[in-house]
A and B are shown apart, each in its own frame.
Chain A
Amino acid sequence: MTKSNRTLNRVILLVLGLLAVLVGLTVGAGALPAVRDALRPTVTFPRSVDVPASSLWIVAGVCAVVVVLALAWAVTRGGGGTAIAVRERAGEDAVTVNVALVRDVVEHELAGAHDVVGTRVDTYLVRRQRAARIRVAVRRGGDAVTVLDAVDRAVAVLDRTLGRQVPVLVHLTGGTRSALARAGRVR
């Protein structure tokens, strides 16, 4: 639901992974005396190299850039959550509906529903549209079909309350609360 770019995340992981493997293999092979002896005829290692002072500053600069870029990317992960479920503008005025209303409506509608042990609602800004995520915890041994029907009715009530159909994600899940909930005995 968050707005992080998943393709770029994959690309970064791939680049870092390949880099780690390459560096690891090079260092690992280069440190082995057998490999060094085998390479001696073809590659000549210098006996010693002096690190010039100017290269130190270049290395330091490159490192600083890497640090800034890495931290900037790492810190900006996630996000996209919002407290406003609906925003309606009319000229100068704006009407906003808070998540709390959506949460109250959905939780109230699902409170007595069969096989439902808990509901969590949050809203996200997805592609500049506001979408609600409704996570419903289903009791162990429960029936997802009746739960989904109940969620449908709750979403219908929500649509009528808000006067529009906001995009919703319904997630039927287990979770710790449903694992601990007792099985229904009397029908």
Chain B
Amino acid sequence: MRNGPVERRIRRRSVHRSRSTAVTVSLTVLALVAAWVGTESVLRALGRGPLLADPQTVVDVALRPDATATTIAEVGAAALVVVGVVLVVLALGPGRRHRSAVEHHRGAVVVDTRIIATTAANAARTAAGVPEANASATARGRSTEVRVVPLSGVPVDEAAVREAVRDRLSSLDERFGRRVRVRVAEKGTLA
């Protein structure tokens, strides 16, 4: 692709999800926890009463936990582990959105997977000569599956439909046209 670095950058950032929301939420939670711990420490140092529990009590309970403290610790620990695993998955996962970058001569072009499916269904409908409701498609990555329900008594040429879908998707981007499956329903519908 012969786009400038700016267009390459915005296309890449459009296809992949931003983690800003996750980062903001987790950092806000971290800030709240830190603020609470800090406040308790200061209150204790000044000799005032605690908000929830002062540090000395927490240390004492941690060293000799009773039944309630154990339950609370277990539930909190389980929640922490679950949250941690979610964050690690968010950090290391590819974070791709349901979009694909498309080769184009001007500008960076990104197309939603749903729109690729819609385009395939549109081409199949035109080739098969059926109403819009009788053709549907799903796209996943580079492969597309088209389902056509023929009108009763009017046969649908599966090869012609596949060729039409392939042509249409290839004119969008040649990579999309490579894996196309066409399924023609056994039973037709009335026009």
By a beta-carbon cutoff of 8 Å, the part of chain A in contact with chain B is 1-2, 4, 6, 9-14, 16-28, 30-33, 45-51, 53, 56-57, 59-60, 62-64, 66-67, 70-71, 73-74, 77-78, 124, 126-127, 129, 131, 133, 138, 140-145, 148, 152, 155-156, 165, 167-174, 183
Contacts and interface: CB of A to CB of B under 8 A. Distances in A.
A59 B107 contact: no
Q: Closest 7 interchain pairs by CB?
A: A17-B87, A63-B38, A28-B77, A20-B84, A24-B80, A21-B84, A31-B73
Given A12-B27, A17-B88, A31 B69 contact: yes
**Which residue among B3, B62, B111 has the maximum number of chain A CB atoms within 10 Å of its CB?**
B111
A167 to B, nearest CB: 4
A32 B5 CA distance: 55
A54 to B, nearest CB: 9
Contacts of A48: 60, 63
B108 A169 contact: yes
Nearest to B63: A45
Contacts of B7: 131, 167-169
Given A59-B38, A167-B4, A171-B14, A13 B87 contact: yes
Contacts, number: 251
B87 A20 contact: yes
Interface stretch (B28-36, B151-159, B181-189): B28-36
Given A56-B55, A144-B118, A124 B35 contact: no
Contacts of A45: 63
A155 B7 CA distance: 14
A73 B27 contact: yes
Nearest to B45: A56
Contacts of B171: 145
A44 B36 CA distance: 30
Contacts of A156: 106
Contacts of A141: 118, 121-122, 125, 132
Contact of B80 (A1, A20, A152, A174): A20
Contacts of A11: 91
Given A20-B87, A140-B118, A25 B77 contact: yes
B44 A51 contact: yes
B109 A56 contact: no
Identify the interface centre among B11, B41, B81, B114: most chain A CB within 10 Å of its CB. Answer: B41
A48 B90 CA distance: 40
Contacts of B102: 148
A169 B11 contact: yes
B128 interface: no
B75 to A, nearest CB: 9
A132 to B, nearest CB: 9
B115 A144 contact: yes
Contact of A27 (B14, B64, B77, B121): B77
29 contacts: A9-B20, A10-B91, A10-B92, A13-B87, A20-B87, A24-B80, A24-B84, A31-B73, A51-B56, A59-B55, A60-B45, A63-B35, A64-B34, A67-B35, A127-B9, A141-B118, A141-B121, A142-B119, A143-B168, A144-B116, A148-B104, A155-B106, A156-B106, A167-B10, A169-B107, A169-B108, A169-B109, A170-B104, A171-B109
